[in-house]
């Protein structure tokens, strides 16, 4: 370390005096500041981001429904361990969502600086989530890579149903719709026909899945599809975009509300990190969606 510092000092002293050295020092300070922000400050931050969506086929009887989306928790990634998860659960409960959806990737594999947390430990904490219409999950590719049966058992034993290519009826008062879970596009069967098999043509459908690349295959009749997986690219560079998005469609389904051919998709940037513990202008978040009928 001493040799490295001595070398850097020598390099700085060898630079021409005057404005060139000032420019270099300013650039160095800016680069170090951005690195600290991207690798420390932003990845360890957290927010609940409330967003309203207006949907053509969402019924007026369900207008205003709030859905908390906890995507890509990657428990054990840097700054996102069990204690952080407990705090997240408390904050989500304080926001009083009507429904909580967990679109997969509960565990990590190989993230730099991370420490593996078992799905059993994560499920035990997530069992503390409260919502009058329930808490439901699907698995992500990292969960499949670990052991899908183990992950499913860990969650169901804690009272969190996994909707893997399955549906369930949600109702409260005059509000009623079918919630459909579609298995992971990379690792699961992602059998949409099976997931929709018990649903009447006249029923409203809200779907959630892990990977948004399934969206072109989603039927027109589904009011909204919710996904995660992309982490919003983890890094957004102004004027350049998102250098890396784990999708065959590039940035097309990277983040936020996408409307195509009358169909609606929402992709959450998620909470944890994968591969590198970096986030830049894509802060970790739980998204609290409020769904409204477009006719209102």
CB atoms within 10 A of CB 120: 14
Indicate the domain borders of the chain: 2-37, 48-293
Asked if residues 74 and 274 have their Cβ atoms less than 8 Å apart, the reply is: yes
Name the percent of the chain in helix, strand, coil, to the closest 5.
Answer: 30, 25, 45
> Does 33 or 43 have the greater pLDDT score?
43
Rounded to whole angstroms, the Cα distance separating 263 from 131 reads: 27
- Tokens (6 digits) for 256: 């936020």
User: Residue 8: which H helix or E strand, with range?
Assistant: helix 2-14
Whether the Cβ atoms of residue 52 and residue 290 lie closer than 8 Å to each other: yes
Cα→Cα distances 210→63, 165, 217, 267, Å: 25, 12, 14, 9
Domain 48-293 annotated CATH 3.40.50.150: no
pLDDT tens digits for 65-123?
Answer: 999 999 999 999 999 999 999 999 999 999 999 999 999 999 999 889 999 999 999 99
Structure tokens at 71: 């995507």
Whether 273 and 78 have beta carbons less than 8 Å apart is answered as yes
Q: Is the model's pTM score more than 0.95?
A: no
Percent of the chain with pLDDT over 70: 86
Q: What pLDDT, on a 0 to 100 scale, did the predictor assign at position 5?
A: 46
The residue behind tokens 């207008």 is 63
Beta carbons within 10 angstroms of residue 101's beta carbon: 28
pLDDT at residue 50 in the model:
97
């Amino acid at each position: 370390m001493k040799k490295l510092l001595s070398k850097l000092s020598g390099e700085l002293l060898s630079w021409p005096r005057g404005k060139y050295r000032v420019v270099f020092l300013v650039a160095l300070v800016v680069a170090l500041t951005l690195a600290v922000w991207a690798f420390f400050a932003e990845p360890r931050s957290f927010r609940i981001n409330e967003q309203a969506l207006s949907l053509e086929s969402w019924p007026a009887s369900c207008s205003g429904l709030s859905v908390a989306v906890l995507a890509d928790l990657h428990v054990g990634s840097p700054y996102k361990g069990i204690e952080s998860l407990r705090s997240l659960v408390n904050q989500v409960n304080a926001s009083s969502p009507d429904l909580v959806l967990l679109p997969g990737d509960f565990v990590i594999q190989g993230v730099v600086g991370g420490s593996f947390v078992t799905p059993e430990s994560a499920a035990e904490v997530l069992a503390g989530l409260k919502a009058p219409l329930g808490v439901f999950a699907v698995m992500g590719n990292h969960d499949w890579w670990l052991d899908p049966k183990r992950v499913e058992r860990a969650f169901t034993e804690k009272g969190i149903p996994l909707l893997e290519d399955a549906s369930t009826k949600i109702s409260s008062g005059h509000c009623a719709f079918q919630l459909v879970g579609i298995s992971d596009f990379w690792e699961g069967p992602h059998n949409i026909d099976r997931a929709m098999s018990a649903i009447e043509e006249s029923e409203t459908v809200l779907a959630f899945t892990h990977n948004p690349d399934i969206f072109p295959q989603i039927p027109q009749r589904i009011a909204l599809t919710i996904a995660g997986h992309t982490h919003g690219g983890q890094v957004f560079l102004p004027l350049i975009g998102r250098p890396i998005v784990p999708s065959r469609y590039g940035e097309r389904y990277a983040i936020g509300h996408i409307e195509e051919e009358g169909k609606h998709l929402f992709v959450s940037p998620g909470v944890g990190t994968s591969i590198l513990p970096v986030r830049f202008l894509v802060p970790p978040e739980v998204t609290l969606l409020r769904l409204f009928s477009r006719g209102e």
